Amino acid sequence: MWARYDSTRGRAENVIKSDDRELIAALERDEGIRLKPYLDTVGKLTIGIGRNLDDVGISPREARYLLSNDLDVALKAAKRFRWFGELDDERQRVIVNMVLNLGAEGFMQFRRMIAALSDHDYELAAAEAEDSKWFRQVGPRGERIVDTLRTGEAT
């Protein structure tokens, strides 16, 4: 449909909306749905249904939406440990932070830290986290997490 320009209002009338089902179906058909980043035909990093990450990126709202979904996954993984619900809120937060950062499989590699948490030995859990490649890689994040594991207080 062609839009008619209304000179009194300074805008076009009868314009389709961004939630137009036919438009969305056409774009899904033409762009495809790619759930992992890829290089498009002109070398631009792209994801989803034609989202050009190089030029457009994502908005803060989109970043928070993605984080919310990632937190749901990380929290579900953390809740699998019987001891998780016994932790105070601050220690639960840093465990979810680690799971989000490392992924569930990566977090599972911290066997001695997990055993210490199961025994409520927070000093040992902190020491095990501190004695890791992860700790050396994440800088201040690791220091905050280790301090919170040790004390139960956010830093």
Q: Which domains does the chain have, with CATH numbers?
A: 4-52 (no CATH), 60-151 (1.10.530.40)
DSSP assignments along 30-53, one per residue: HH--EEEEEE-TTS-EEEETTEET
Integer Cα distance of 27 and 50 in angstroms: 8
What's the pLDDT tens digit per position in 120-155?
A: 999 999 999 999 999 999 999 999 999 999 999 998
Integer Cα distance of 114 and 131 in angstroms: 13
**pLDDT at residue 155, rounded to an integer:** 87
Assign 3-state DSSP to the chain and report helix, strand, coil percentages, each to 5.
55, 10, 30
Kindly give the parts of the chain with pLDDT less than 70: 1-13
